[in-house]
């Protein structure tokens, strides 16, 4: 295995394209090193992007936030303005692993591992985040929900790398939240995750996005669940409908972390609880 | 093999390593700094905790090659000469270790915690240390030692 | 040696000095199993079976042998032949023979110039497996048609006509249980299960070994019993235990799991073959797959009770699987089950069953926690249905001095009643139960153990003392040894240095297990100190020219025993030591024996838990441990044992389990998915040390390390069941299980 730490994304793309065998991008490494250790991935080339100028920066852009590909959980959560705009995204990312993992783990890495249970991804999906992708044919922006295509599979082409994540402008009267279910209080992978982002018009929900994790091969954007609460003030009927549509959207598996029945039921419970928090945040 | 120049506990250090070797492998096997322990090798136990440029990380999740130009801090660097750091002393006073295999990682993580949050709540301490597994103590005496150290360090500051 | 009723005013016993190995452990200097290196050492890695059950048709190591850096490869062919019984079982577990018996079973091992090279070479070893049907569940394994793990493994106690996987049986009891049940106002009968769990010590097994062609070897390893390591390695390598010197490293947790030998013989075989030191360290997934987890259990319990709370009869049937070898601790399970209760009618039986899982090892009070879970759940249910207070009922039926134990003996002095009284009086028990919460109470029992013990205590000229013990320090025992020696000799705690001697230095010492260290090595230390004192008095007598018997020892001084003995200035230990070269040579006290007076120990735990009925999630609120320690030498380490056992029990009760897939492979061989409690999962754990002296120890010490894990499974199950309003009968009570039980209720 070779290790390279280029000083530009252009150089990174060139290295990735030149590699005949398997190449892996290294951000925080909290997935990559686990895979190396287990021998499940045996790359010929590792391209560490952390020495590229700007990858640790968070910058204001069009009222939203552009987050460099190597921004760690610690760096993200230290950014007070971003956390005020998108507390759901910040908290979701903060849930990943331990203090130690937070020192390294990135949104980009969480997205590119494409685990159905990734914590920050439902929150980013609900927020309407996009990823900026650079390849040999230039740069494109893709919706976050279009990056993962199946468990541990991404839509990025050979040689493509994500350079940053963009969180759009929060706008007035908006709020978001992410909740996950784990059996312990920390250090677990989500059995179910649910994110809700919404805006209010008075007491009524004007717009909403609901996203679920760990209940299908990819993170889901559930339009029906959003529709269940749009136009309501989260009355009991709306909440029941939200839970029912969220549960109905689930297509989970039974595994060491949870059963089909459990995941399906909890998706509804968490969607309701997350919606309530997002609503209260939007109210301010 | 990769040649790396880094700073460890304030000392400039050079080493060569295989690109697959982790920082933990390098510290333990190449530099004989065996204070950081391997409990899992996959980020789950925190026994290998070190600081990289002041941020606490699992050294089993960092490649040795990544240490180039960084400042690494390990448990061996916590005491000043023969003077124990207050958290080290409190761990002894409170019997906060039984077997002691988790202790180096917990001390590294605790030092970072108290530098950032000098007055943590019990809940804050428990969540900060959630990535440092201890199987012997049930955490009770560890948490008490950390809270007590924080108190003493605040009054000394 | 009997309890010394006269010895009441202690100087040091009961105080909390800093441990002697403390500074090494907070500065990173302490050397654990994987921390030692030898010049020119090789690194080893083990190839393990991916199959739960498979015939090994052939192993081709030729490609691996040629790989870069590889210096040697061993398979079963490199170990002793002709072993029988227990040693054959041990070898079969250390390195598979004709069959791989579980996922993770060792097949071959490589030594190479680096750990990465050894790991790479494993991929080049070709094994031709014939995959066989497997079974991992205890009840399935007993059924007709279950795959046979090994013919002829059954012991003599096994009843006729059982499946060959049933390899052991135990039964005991007294009275007429059916008459007892007929006498009861309420009889409850139910079935309970627990899953296998792992001790979860944070330090993986690790060793460094050297061995020459002459069969003389050296091993450095983390173990609870280095003398046992020498013995087993001797057998497995076809040499003598005395030819293998084993040094115990600092040990990063064991809890029973490091009483077994897994990798040391492999490292020695590779060292012999390559003529180089070999370091072998297990990965975490190897620890889960291929060390010794607990047994899992399936249990039927029936108990009768009168309206006033009198228990009229109890019956238990316990089925335990202990992996692919005989040895599940069913006998202990059965013996411990009803131990807290003085029952007129009781019967218990246990089956030892083999499955395609790693061989179980001891885990803190092996077999007892699951028994307590089953029995104490039924007792709780009886109390609920009869509207009785759970502590009053336990007090009413409690075992006490002179009452007949469920397994036959008459109890000596025991402290269960004292523990129950302390629980009743504890503020925890009188506070209101939180809303949405439930409270659980449980008793627990463990025997404790003595075992072969040798210590030696040598004086230095400067009046300090070097104490050598042979029981690895698994939780601060060196502090307790220093305290006991200093107490006896009347010198300062800091003037004693306790060392864990290697196997060539001291007589045989049994493993640090059975909560025996503070009891047995402690007793031996006290005896060795008293032996030393005799020798000190003799030197003083010679100096004073009086009779030996006219000298006694007090607070660190030899003194003439009265006016008749003559007027002499008391002589300090340091003074006598400083002259010992000229007065007869070195002064060394020693003790070697097998103390038989280990004191059993009881505990009572109280816990409050809350259950989120929408998600099945449990949180543990308040937790109180009350346990009889006999005498707490160093109370901080006694409390630590209480708290650690409770925390492990909480994990076992709520989330920890071995999860096997349909394919017989372990699904969660890592901390992330095995889920031991983390700091944010637990509350502070309150402790009450009860001291009912053990008649078999001079200070009254009882072992404390194991009993603390007996009550928590049941206490938490009772709290959760009471909070959820539905009886939980299977552990772990993970959220999906709780939610399912709620849905079905
Ligand atoms: C102990 C532990 C606990 C964890 N707990 C959680 C948890 O609770 N929730 C959770 O969601 N995850 C968890 N994880 C997984 C992991 O920490 C997260 O997925 C993390 O966000 C990954 O980020 P990273 O920067 O470390 O990624 P890396 O490991 O660096 O990379 C991950 C993947 O993304 C690819 N990649 C990285 N950067 C780019 C890029 N710029 N362009 C293209 N591809 C790229 C890599 O090649 C790799 O395939 C845990 C991991 C550990 C070790
Ligand atoms: S060894 Fe690094 S976290 Fe366990
Ligand atoms: S003291 Fe043993 S793991 Fe913490």
Question: Which of chain B's residues have a Cβ under 8 Å away from the Cβ of A97?
Answer: 43, 131
pLDDT of residue C659: 98
**Dihedral Cα B129, B131, B132, B135, nearest 10 deg:** 110
B42/C201 touch (CB, cutoff 8 Å), yes or no:
no
pLDDT of residue A54: 97
Please indicate, yes or no, whether residues C381 and C462 belong to a single structural domain of this protein. no
**CB pairs below 8 Å between B and C: how many?**
182
B19/A3 touch (CB, cutoff 8 Å), yes or no:
yes
Q: What percent of chain C has pLDDT over 90?
A: 94
ipTM: 0.98
Give the residue among B110, B98, B44 at the shortest CA–CA distance from B73.
B110
Please indicate, yes or no, whether residues C464 and C490 belong to a single structural domain of this protein. yes
Confidence check: pLDDT of A262 > 70: yes
Please indicate, yes or no, whether residues C105 and C250 belong to a single structural domain of this protein. yes
The protein residue with its alpha carbon nearest to ligand 3, atom 4, reads B134
Establish if C120 belongs to a structural domain: yes
Q: How confident is the model at residue C210 (pLDDT cuts 50, 70, 90)?
A: very high
Among chain C residues, the shortest Cα distance to B21 is held by C116
Q: How confident is the model at residue C52 (pLDDT cuts 50, 70, 90)?
A: very high
Domains and CATH numbers, chain B: 2-77 (3.10.20.30), 86-156 (1.10.150.120)
Q: Establish whether residue B36 lines the binding site of ligand 2, counting it when its CB lies within 6 angstroms of any ligand atom.
A: no
Rounded to whole angstroms, how far apart are CA atoms C615 and C738? 8
Are A194 and A274 contacting, i.e. CB atoms less than 8 angstroms apart? Answer: yes
Confidence check: pLDDT of C515 > 90: no
Establish if C502 belongs to a structural domain: yes
Q: Establish whether residue B58 lines the binding site of ligand 2, counting it when its CB lies within 6 angstroms of any ligand atom.
A: yes
CATH ID of A1-48, from 3.30.43, 3.90.25, 3.30.2420, 1.20.120: 3.30.43
Q: How confident is the model at residue A99 (pLDDT cuts 50, 70, 90)?
A: very high
Chain B residues touching chain A at CB-CB below 8 Å? 2, 19-20, 22, 41-44, 46, 49, 52, 55-58, 60-63, 65-66, 68, 109, 112-113, 127-132
Would an 8 Å CB–CB cutoff place A181 in contact with chain C? yes
Rounded to whole angstroms, how far apart are CA atoms C49 and C27? 39
Q: Domain ranges in chain A?
A: 1-48, 174-283
pLDDT of residue A42: 94
- Which of B136, B138, B142, B146 has most ligand 3 atoms within 8 Å of CB, for mutation? B136
Please indicate, yes or no, whether residues C494 and C566 belong to a single structural domain of this protein. yes
**CA B57–ligand 2 middle distance (angstroms):** 10
Ligand positioned closest to the Cα atom of A135 = 1
Q: Establish whether residue B135 lines the binding site of ligand 3, counting it when its CB lies within 6 angstroms of any ligand atom.
A: yes
Count: domains in chain C: 3
Window C:111-140, CB contacts with B under 8 Å: 114-116
Q: How confident is the model at residue C214 (pLDDT cuts 50, 70, 90)?
A: confident
Q: In a structure prediction context, what are the per-residue pLDDT tens digits for chain B, which is 157 residues long?
A: 999 999 999 999 999 999 999 999 999 999 999 999 999 999 999 999 999 999 999 999 999 999 999 999 999 999 999 999 999 999 999 999 999 999 999 999 999 999 999 999 999 999 999 999 999 999 999 999 999 999 999 999 8
Q: Check if A1-48 and A174-283 are the same fold.
A: no
**CA B71–ligand 1 middle distance (angstroms):** 23
Establish if C484 belongs to a structural domain: yes
Confidence check: pLDDT of A123 > 70: yes
Contacting subunits of C (3+ beta carbon pairs below 8 A): A, B
Window C:597-626, CB contacts with B under 8 Å: none
Q: How confident is the model at residue C666 (pLDDT cuts 50, 70, 90)?
A: very high
Establish if C305 belongs to a structural domain: no
pLDDT tens profile C260-270: 999 999 999 99
Which residue in B88, B137, B144 is closest to C644 by CB distance? Answer: B137
As to burial, measured by CB atoms within 10 angstroms (0-12 exposed, 13-18 middle, 19+ buried), residue A79 is middle
pLDDT of residue C464: 97
Helix (H, G, I), strand (E, B) or coil at C637: helix
Ligand positioned closest to the Cα atom of C203 = 3
Question: Which of chain A's residues have a Cβ under 8 Å away from the Cβ of B131?
Answer: 97-101, 186-187
Please indicate, yes or no, whether residues C229 and C117 belong to a single structural domain of this protein. yes
Angle CA(A83)–CA(A88)–CA(A89) in degrees, nearest 5? 70
Looking at ligand 1, which atom is closest to the CA of residue A69?
41
pLDDT tens profile C277-302: 999 999 999 999 999 999 999 999 99
Q: Among C533, C561, C593, which residue terminates a domain?
A: C593
For chain C, report the end-to-end CA distance as a whole number of angstroms.
Answer: 56
3-state helix/strand/coil string of chain B: CEEEEEEECCEEEEEEECCCCEHHHHHHHHCCCCCCCCCCCCCCCCCCEEEECCEEEEHHHCEHHHHCCCEEECHHHCCECCECCHHHHHHHHCCCCCCCCCHHHHHHHHHHHHHHCCCCCHHHHHHHCCCCCCCCCCCHHHHHHHHHHHHHHHHHC
A261/C734 touch (CB, cutoff 8 Å), yes or no:
no
Residue C725 CB partners (closer than 8 Å, separation 6+): C745
Ligand positioned closest to the Cα atom of A219 = 1
Q: Among C593, C615, C634, which residue terminates a domain?
A: C593
Rounded to whole angstroms, how far apart are CA atoms B93 and C26? 12
Q: Provide CATH code, domain A174-283.
A: 3.30.390.50
- Which of B103, B130, B138, B146 has most ligand 3 atoms within 8 Å of CB, for mutation? B103
pLDDT of residue C306: 98
Confidence check: pLDDT of A269 > 80: yes
Confidence check: pLDDT of C2 > 80: no
Question: Which of chain B's residues have a Cβ under 8 Å away from the Cβ of C639?
Answer: 95, 141
Rounded to whole angstroms, how far apart are CA atoms C639 and C562? 43
Looking at ligand 2, which atom is closest to the CA of residue A100?
3
Establish if C312 belongs to a structural domain: no
Q: How confident is the model at residue C84 (pLDDT cuts 50, 70, 90)?
A: very high
A36/B109 touch (CB, cutoff 8 Å), yes or no:
no
Q: Establish whether residue A95 lines the binding site of ligand 1, counting it when its CB lies within 6 angstroms of any ligand atom.
A: yes
Please indicate, yes or no, whether residues C80 and C215 belong to a single structural domain of this protein. yes
pLDDT of residue C4: 76
Are C311 and C343 contacting, i.e. CB atoms less than 8 angstroms apart? Answer: yes
pLDDT tens profile C680-703: 999 999 999 999 999 999 999 998
Looking at ligand 1, which atom is closest to the CA of residue A73?
21
Confidence check: pLDDT of C1 > 70: no
| Tokens linked to C219 | 């091993």
Ligand positioned closest to the Cα atom of B139 = 3
Q: Please give the average per-residue pLDDT across C561-577, as a whole number.
A: 90
What is the CATH classification number for the domain harbouring C239? 3.90.1170.50
A30/B65 touch (CB, cutoff 8 Å), yes or no:
no
Please indicate, yes or no, whether residues C670 and C688 belong to a single structural domain of this protein. yes
B129/A185 touch (CB, cutoff 8 Å), yes or no:
no
Q: Show the domain range for C577.
A: 22-30+450-593
Looking at ligand 3, which atom is closest to the CA of residue B100?
1
Which residue in C673, C739, C740 is closest to A256 by CB distance? Answer: C673
Average pLDDT, chain C: 96
pLDDT of residue C6: 60
Q: Among C571, C593, C615, which residue terminates a domain?
A: C593
Confidence check: pLDDT of C565 > 90: no
Establish if C272 belongs to a structural domain: yes
Q: Establish whether residue B106 lines the binding site of ligand 2, counting it when its CB lies within 6 angstroms of any ligand atom.
A: no
What is the CATH classification number for the domain harbouring C422? 3.30.365.10
Q: Indicate the pTM of the whole model.
A: 0.97
pLDDT tens profile C585-623: 999 999 999 998 889 999 999 999 999 999 999 999 999
Q: How confident is the model at residue C307 (pLDDT cuts 50, 70, 90)?
A: very high
Establish if C417 belongs to a structural domain: yes
pLDDT tens profile C519-552: 999 999 999 999 999 999 999 999 999 999 999 9
Q: Establish whether residue A164 lines the binding site of ligand 1, counting it when its CB lies within 6 angstroms of any ligand atom.
A: no
Q: Establish whether residue A93 lines the binding site of ligand 1, counting it when its CB lies within 6 angstroms of any ligand atom.
A: no
Question: Which of chain C's residues have a Cβ under 8 Å away from the Cβ of A261?
Answer: 736, 740
């Amino acid at each position: 295995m070779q290790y390279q730490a280029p000083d530009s994304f252009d150089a990174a793309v060139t290295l990735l394209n030149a590699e005949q065998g398997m190449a892996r991008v290294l951000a925080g490494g909290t997935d990559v090193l686990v895979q190396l250790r287990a021998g499940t991935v045996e790359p010929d080339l590792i391209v560490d992007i952390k020495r590229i100028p700007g990858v640790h920066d968070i910058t204001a852009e069009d009222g939203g936030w552009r987050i460099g590909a190597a921004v760690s959980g610690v760096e993200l959560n230290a950014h007070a303005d971003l956390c005020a705009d998108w507390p759901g995204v910040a908290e979701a990312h903060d849930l990943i692993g331990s203090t130690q993992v937070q020192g390294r783990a990135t949104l980009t890495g969480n997205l590119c591992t494409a685990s159905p249970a990734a914590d920050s991804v439902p929150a980013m999906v609900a927020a309407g985040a996009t990823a900026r992708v650079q390849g040999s044919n230039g740069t494109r922006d893709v919706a976050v929900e279009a990056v993962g295509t199946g468990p541990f599979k991404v839509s990025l082409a050979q040689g493509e790398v994500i350079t940053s994540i963009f969180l759009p402008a929060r706008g007035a009267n908006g709020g978001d939240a992410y909740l996950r279910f784990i059996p312990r209080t920390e250090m677990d992978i989500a059995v179910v995750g649910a994110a809700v982002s919404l805006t209010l018009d008075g007491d009524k929900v004007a717009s909403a996005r609901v996203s679920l994790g760990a209940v299908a091969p990819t993170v889901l954007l559930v339009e029906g669940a959003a529709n269940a609460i749009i136009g309501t003030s989260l009355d009991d009927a709306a909440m029941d409908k939200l839970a029912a549509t969220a549960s109905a959207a689930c297509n989970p598996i039974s595994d060491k972390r949870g059963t089909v029945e459990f995941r399906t039921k909890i998706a509804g419970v968490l969607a309701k609880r997350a919606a309530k928090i997002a609503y209260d945040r939007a109210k301010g | 093999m990769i040649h790396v120049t880094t700073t460890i506990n304030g000392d400039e250090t050079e080493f060569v390593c295989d690109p697959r070797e982790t920082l933990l492998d390098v510290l333990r096997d190449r530099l004989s700094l065996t204070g950081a322990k391997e409990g899992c090798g996959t980020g789950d136990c925190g026994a290998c905790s070190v600081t990289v440029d002041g941020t606490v990380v699992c050294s089993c999740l960092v490649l040795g090659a990544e240490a180039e130009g960084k400042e690494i801090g390990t448990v061996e660097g916590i005491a000043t000469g023969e003077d124990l750091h207050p958290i080290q002393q409190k761990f002894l006073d409170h019997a906060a270790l039984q077997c002691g295999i988790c202790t180096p990682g917990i001390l590294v993580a605790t030092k970072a915690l108290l530098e950032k949050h000098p007055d943590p709540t019990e809940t804050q301490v428990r969540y900060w240390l959630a990535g440092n597994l201890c199987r012997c103590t049930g955490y009770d005496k560890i948490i008490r030692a950390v809270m007590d150290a924080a108190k003493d360090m605040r009054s000394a500051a | 040696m009997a309890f010394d009723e006269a010895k009441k005013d202690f100087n040091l016993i009961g105080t909390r000095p800093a441990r002697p190995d403390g500074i090494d452990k907070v500065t990173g200097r302490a050397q654990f199993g994987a921390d030692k290196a030898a010049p020119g050492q090789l690194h080893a890695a083990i190839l393990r079976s991916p199959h739960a059950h498979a015939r090994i048709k052939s192993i081709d190591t030729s490609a691996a042998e040629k790989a870069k850096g590889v210096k040697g490869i061993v398979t079963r062919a490199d170990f002793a032949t002709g072993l029988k019984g227990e040693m054959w079982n041990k070898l079969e577990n250390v390195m598979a023979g004709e069959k791989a018996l579980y996922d993770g079973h060792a097949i071959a091992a490589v030594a190479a110039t680096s750990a990465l090279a050894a790991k790479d070479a494993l991929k080049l070893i070709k094994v031709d497996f014939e995959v066989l049907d497997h079974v991992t569940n205890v009840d399935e394994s007993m059924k007709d048609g279950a795959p046979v793990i090994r013919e002829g493994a059954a012991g003599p106690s096994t009843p006729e006509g059982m499946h060959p996987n049933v390899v052991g049986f135990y039964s005991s009891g007294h009275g007429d249980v059916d008459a007892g049940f007929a006498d009861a106002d309420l009889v409850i009968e139910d079935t309970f299960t627990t899953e296998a769990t792992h001790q979860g010590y944070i330090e993986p097994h690790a060793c460094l070994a050297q061995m020459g062609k002459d069969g003389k070897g050296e091993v450095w390893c983390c173990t609870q019993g280095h003398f046992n390591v020498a013995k087993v390695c001797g057998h497995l390598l076809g040499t003598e235990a005395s030819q293998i010197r084993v040094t115990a490293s600092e040990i990063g947790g064991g809890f029973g799991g490091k009483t077994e030998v897994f990798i040391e013989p492999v490292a020695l075989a590779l060292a012999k073959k390559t003529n180089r030191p070999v370091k072998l360290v297990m990965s975490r997934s190897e620890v889960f797959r291929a060390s010794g987890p607990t047994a899992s259990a399936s249990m039927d319990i029936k108990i009768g009770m009168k309206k006033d709370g009198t228990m009229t009869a109890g019956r238990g049937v316990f089925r335990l699987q202990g992996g692919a070898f005989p040895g599940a601790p069913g006998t202990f399970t059965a013996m411990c089950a009803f131990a807290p209760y003085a029952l007129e009618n009781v019967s218990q039986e246990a089956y030892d069953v083999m499955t395609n899982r790693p061989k179980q090892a001891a885990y803190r009070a092996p077999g007892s926690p699951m028994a307590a879970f089953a029995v104490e759940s039924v007792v709780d249910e009886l109390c609920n249905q009869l509207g009785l207070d759970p502590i009053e009922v336990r007090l009413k039926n409690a075992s006490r001095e002179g009452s007949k134990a469920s397994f036959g003996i008459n109890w000596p002095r025991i402290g269960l009643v004292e523990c129950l009284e302390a629980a009743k009086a504890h503020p925890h028990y009188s506070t209101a139960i939180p809303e949405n919460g439930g409270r659980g109470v449980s008793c627990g029992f463990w025997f404790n153990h003595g075992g072969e013990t040798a210590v030696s205590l040598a004086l230095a000229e400067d009046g300090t003392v070097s104490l050598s013990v042979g029981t690895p320090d698994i939780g601060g025992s060196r502090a307790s040894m220093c305290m006991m020696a200093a107490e006896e000799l009347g010198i300062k705690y800091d003037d004693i240095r306790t060392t864990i001697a290697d196997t060539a230095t001291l007589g045989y010492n049994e493993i640090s297990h059975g909560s025996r260290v503070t009891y047995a090595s402690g007793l031996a230390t006290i005896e060795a100190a008293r032996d030393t004192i005799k020798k000190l008095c003799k030197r003083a007598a010679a100096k004073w020219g009086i009779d030996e018997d006219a000298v006694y020892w007090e607070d660190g001084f030899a003194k003439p025993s009265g006016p008749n003995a003559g007027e002499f200035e008391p002589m300090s230990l340091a003074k006598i030591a400083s002259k010992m070269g000229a007065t007869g040579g070195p002064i060394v006290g020693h003790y070697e024996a097998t103390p038989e007076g280990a004191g059993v120990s009881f505990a009572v735990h109280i816990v409050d838990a809350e259950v989120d009925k929408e998600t099945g999630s449990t949180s543990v609120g308040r937790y109180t441990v009350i346990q009889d320690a006999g005498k707490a030498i160093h109370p901080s380490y006694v409390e630590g044992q209480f708290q650690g056992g409770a925390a492990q029990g909480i994990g076992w009760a709520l989330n920890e389990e071995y999860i096997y897939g349909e394919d017989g492979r372990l699904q969660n061989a890592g901390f992330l998915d095995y889920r031991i409690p983390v700091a944010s999962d637990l509350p502070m754990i309150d402790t009450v040390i009860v001291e009912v002296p053990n008649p078999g120890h001079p200070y009254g010490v009882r072992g404390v390390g194991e009993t603390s894990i007996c009550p928590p499974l049941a206490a938490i199950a009772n709290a959760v069941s009471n909070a959820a309003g539905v009886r939980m009968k299977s552990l772990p009570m993970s959220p999906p299980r709780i939610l399912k039980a709620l849905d079905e209720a």
